[in-house]
Amino acid sequence: DLIIFWHRRDLRLSDHVGLTAARKASSQIIGVFCLDPMILHREDIAASRVSYLIDCLQALQESYLNAGSQLLIFSGSPAKVIPNLAKTLQAQAVFWHQDVEPYAKSRDVDVAQALKEQGIRVETFWDQLLHSPAEIYTGNEKPYTVYTPFWKNWITKPKSESLSQIANLTGLSVAEQEIATQAGAIALPSAKDLGFVWDGAWLLPAGESAAIDQLEAFSSSAIFDYQEQRNFPAIDGTSRLSPALKFGTIGIRTVWAATLTAFEQTRSEESQKAIQTWQQELAWREFYQHALYHFPELANGPYRQQFNNFHWDENYDRFEAWCAGETGYPIVDAAMRQLNEIGWMHNRCRMIVASFLTKDLLINWQWGEKYFMQRLVDGDLASNNGGWQWSTSSGMDPKPLRIFNPITQSQKFDPEGEYIRQWVSELRSVDSEDLVTGKISPIERQSLGYPQPIVDHNLQQKEFKRRYQLCKGD
Ligand code: FAD
């Protein structure tokens, strides 16, 4: 009674909806992961993300072995690989979790179709969200397009409890493993084997146990100060769980349960507010996933059609300076260098650099969206696209028109210039006040080997507003 569980962004054995259902039906369960060229060869793939994925798969393989079974690795199109394997091993069913991304949705239809043609049962589940897109609608049965009413509805819905760890599985016999190899199962390749080189440090070590440790550490301390500290990029004030949530090395119900435990541990109103603010971030993640599920066209362009007429500058020199962290605006450069070095950037800084690209450099947000995807270890179509459209004002929540002043942002959120000094080494000796206000003289910049500002913020934001009026139409 073999059940194949096809893993995608659920690389763990605990708090796992699909595996829990499979385990109820049978103890003979194997996991499969398919390295899909359609994903690995995309233009917006990141070496950091592939490398992280491979490390997560390695950890999951060990977990499967400890549980008595195997995680098999394949390379190729899932619509061929999965049905072929299921047929060869005479599996009774293939289970997987649903996804919100347009490519995943169409891929899954193809795989399900091919399996059904062979008489193999398919069961699918929602796992990566506390509430699936079918659960949260407006009073008029429409998907939400504004966050606040979404949150108000989402928070009132009862949430499932965390599920226990999967154990005591029966895997494939040696002879069956041989058959699987003949059907194309391969040893887990390294990221390098796949053509990706990444030697940056990890924000969060890969795999399930590291994610659980991180959640425990965060939810027993920093969560209580999240409200105050989350906006300061020099402070380790956020959970840093985004890579775990991207790859599902932690279950979302476990994450939710940790917030409830934190609530029980405090009577301070401030701390309770902080926990709720963190829950709201989890809801932003769900809001963007629902949005992408219901409006797949978001992946290809602005939500607000008027933005198709916005006159963007095709200035490659400025774009390259932004990518490299060479704009002459210290906070922007620090953030871009953090991204380039560790494949992650603090949320405050993601907003600052996105505003800078679109509203100071007048460059199309989609260039920035793609560059982020090419670097981020947590790069996720729904959240990234949502964050970029929010920052550009082209998305669902366009008001107020958001233009961040990089100088005021540094003054508020990096007042001592600590974050800037951490990432922009040539500015380490500069006086804090000058660093934060950016008032570093042209001569000093030259002697430090630090660029002059590539644009004037005041002029550029006026120009942005002028162009915005032209395309706005409301
Ligand atoms: P915490 O502050 O601890 O938040 C907890 C979790 O909530 C995060 O791990 C994340 O899963 C979720 N979350 C938090 N903020 C947001 C948000 N604004 N939108 C959606 N989910 C959120 N997040 C990604 O996971 N992948 C991306 O590709 C991504 N791209 C972004 C691009 C831009 C331009 C912007 C402005 C934001 C983007 N974000 C993205 C959201 C946010 O910046 C990161 O989730 C956050 O910085 C991750 O750090 P953390 O885990 O410490 O977050």
DSSP result, 227-277 = HHHTT-TTS--S---HHHHHHTSS-HHHHHHHHHHHHHT---HHHHHHHHH
Is 468 annotated to bind a ligand? Reply is no
Is 410 annotated to bind a ligand? Reply is no
User: What is the rounded CA–CA span in Å between residue 39 and residue 49?
Assistant: 11
Q: Is 245 in the pocket of ligand 1 (CB under 6 A)?
A: yes
Cis preceding linkage at 398, omega within 30: no
Q: Is 48 in the pocket of ligand 1 (CB under 6 A)?
A: no
The residues of the chain that CATH labels 1.25.40.80 are: 208-294
Ligand 1 atom nearest the C-alpha of 244 is 9
- In testing the pocket of ligand 1, which one of 202, 227, 242, 344 has its CB within 8 Å of the most ligand atoms? 242
Is 380 annotated to bind a ligand? Reply is yes
**Cα 302 to averaged position of ligand 1 atoms, centre (Å):** 20
Provide the pLDDT for residue 398. Answer: 67
Q: Is 214 in the pocket of ligand 1 (CB under 6 A)?
A: no
Residues assigned a catalytic role: 281, 284, 312, 347, 365, 388
Provide the pLDDT for residue 368. Answer: 98
Render the burial of 143-178: b for 16+ CB within 10 Å, e for the rest.
Answer: bbbebeebbebbeeeeeeeebeebeebebbeeebbe
**Cα 81 to averaged position of ligand 1 atoms, centre (Å):** 33
The residues of the chain that CATH labels 1.10.579.10 are: 305-472
**Cα 117 to averaged position of ligand 1 atoms, centre (Å):** 40
C-alpha separations of 103 from 147, 340, 398 in Å: 25, 27, 27
User: What is the rounded CA–CA span in Å between residue 361 and residue 328?
Assistant: 12
For residue 73, what are the β-bridge partners? 33, 186
Candidates 175, 196, 271; CA nearest to 42 is: 196
> How is residue 380 written in tokens?
């996720």
Question: Measured over all CA atoms, what is the biggest interatomic distance in the chain, rounded to whole angstroms?
Answer: 75
pLDDT along the chain (474 residues), means of 10: 97 98 97 98 97 98 98 98 97 98 98 97 98 96 95 98 96 97 97 94 93 98 97 97 98 98 95 98 98 97 91 97 98 98 97 98 98 98 97 82 94 97 97 92 96 97 94 69
User: What is the rounded CA–CA span in Å between residue 427 and residue 328?
Assistant: 11
Domain 305-472 has CATH 1.10.579.10: yes
User: What is the rounded CA–CA span in Å between residue 274 and residue 460?
Assistant: 36
Q: Is 383 in the pocket of ligand 1 (CB under 6 A)?
A: yes
Q: What is the DSSP letter of 119?
A: T
Pick the CATH number of 1-127 from 3.30.420.40, 3.40.30.10, 3.40.50.620, 3.90.1150.10: 3.40.50.620
Q: Is 284 in the pocket of ligand 1 (CB under 6 A)?
A: yes
Candidates 188, 210, 133; CA nearest to 7 is: 188
Ligand 1 atom nearest the C-alpha of 287 is 20
357 near 349, Cβ under 8 Å?
no
Whose alpha carbon is nearest atom 44 of ligand 1?
347
**Cα 185 to averaged position of ligand 1 atoms, centre (Å):** 35
Pick the CATH number of 208-294 from 3.40.50.10190, 3.40.50.300, 3.50.50.60, 1.25.40.80: 1.25.40.80
Whose alpha carbon is nearest atom 2 of ligand 1?
238
Q: Is 380 in the pocket of ligand 1 (CB under 6 A)?
A: yes
Candidates 450, 201, 459, 235; CA nearest to 332 is: 450
**Cα 232 to averaged position of ligand 1 atoms, centre (Å):** 15
C-alpha separations of 224 from 235, 255, 264 in Å: 14, 15, 12
Which residue has tokens 């959240």? 383
Whose alpha carbon is nearest atom 10 of ligand 1?
242
Provide the pLDDT for residue 466. Answer: 94
Provide the pLDDT for residue 10. Answer: 98
Provide the pLDDT for residue 402. Answer: 87
